[in-house]
Amino acid sequence: MCNAYRSAIQYLISNAIHVVDRFHVVQVFLKAVDYARHVIYETMKSDIAQIADPIRRDNEYRQLMDMKIDTFMFRKNPENMNDYRLFKYKEICEAYPEFAKPAWGRDNFMKIHDCDTLADAEAAYRNWKMLAPVHLDAYKKIKSFISHTMKNWRKEIFNYFVIDGKRKTNATTERLNGAIKICRTWGGATYIRFCGPKCFLAPRLLKSRFMNAY
């Protein structure tokens, strides 16, 4: 998501379909979700500190600390969590409903990319946008994500679903870019000319060999 890249694509290869990869969209979005988690967490600690009864204050604080609410709990897809983290994630949302809202926003946004068609994806996004709790201060970065990232890059983001009803990513471009980096490390332009195709076919293998050489 870079305006310079978009301008270059429009100028040099105007017929190309520009796809903003799911990875980059989710990465930006999860940072906004984690900001909400941080604000909610700090607000809860501040509220606990103002409890007059020292025994109740200590108990509330200890309970909050025992939950071990860390940044990875809300920046990781539940599908990729191990059993322990998934259990803690559900326990946190049940014990503190304040965290259920960013959790809902994260989980339902992830489902947009699971849609099969462009029409379904756009409908899922509209529904998610309508229900997102952006009116609260803790969610100002999610609001910014909607009003800036999604507004400015909506076409390129939803191009993920456009081509022949199949999902398209920039994986080939990333693979080629990785191969070029390896070639440059090994021997510059000459190496790219003669060995570039091999690097493109097996960049991970070449990278592992290069790392093992040192």
pLDDT in tens, 154-200: 988 888 887 655 666 666 677 777 777 776 666 555 555 545 555 54
When mean pLDDT is compared across 29-33, 56-60, 114-118, 201-205, the lowest value belongs to: 201-205
What is the model's pLDDT at position 56? 92
Within 10 Å of residue 197's Cβ, how many Cβ atoms? Answer: 11
Q: CB–CB of 60/49 below 8 Å?
A: no
Query: Can you give the residue range of the structural domain that contains 179?
Result: 171-212
- Amino acid letter for position 5: Y
In the predicted structure, residue 47 carries a pLDDT above the cut 60? yes
Structure tokens belonging to residue 14: 């105007």
Asked if 202 and 105 sit in the same domain, the reply is no
In the predicted structure, residue 212 carries a pLDDT above the cut 60? no
User: SS3 helix, strand, coil % of the chain, rounded to 5?
Assistant: 80, 0, 20
Structure tokens belonging to residue 140: 């100002």
Q: Please state the rounded mean pLDDT for residues 59-69.
A: 88
Q: Please state the rounded mean pLDDT for residues 66-84.
A: 78
Asked if 126 and 187 sit in the same domain, the reply is no
Q: What is the pLDDT of residues 104-156, one digit of tens each?
A: 888 889 888 888 888 889 999 999 998 887 777 888 898 899 989 999 999 88
Asked if 67 and 155 sit in the same domain, the reply is yes
- Last residue within a domain, chosen from 165, 185, 202: 165
* pTM reported for the whole predicted model: 0.74
The DSSP call for residue 113 is: T
The helices-and-strands tally (H runs, E runs) of the chain is 10, 0
Asked if 102 and 127 sit in the same domain, the reply is yes
What is the model's pLDDT at position 188? 54
CA angle 88, 33, 64 (to 5 degrees): 40
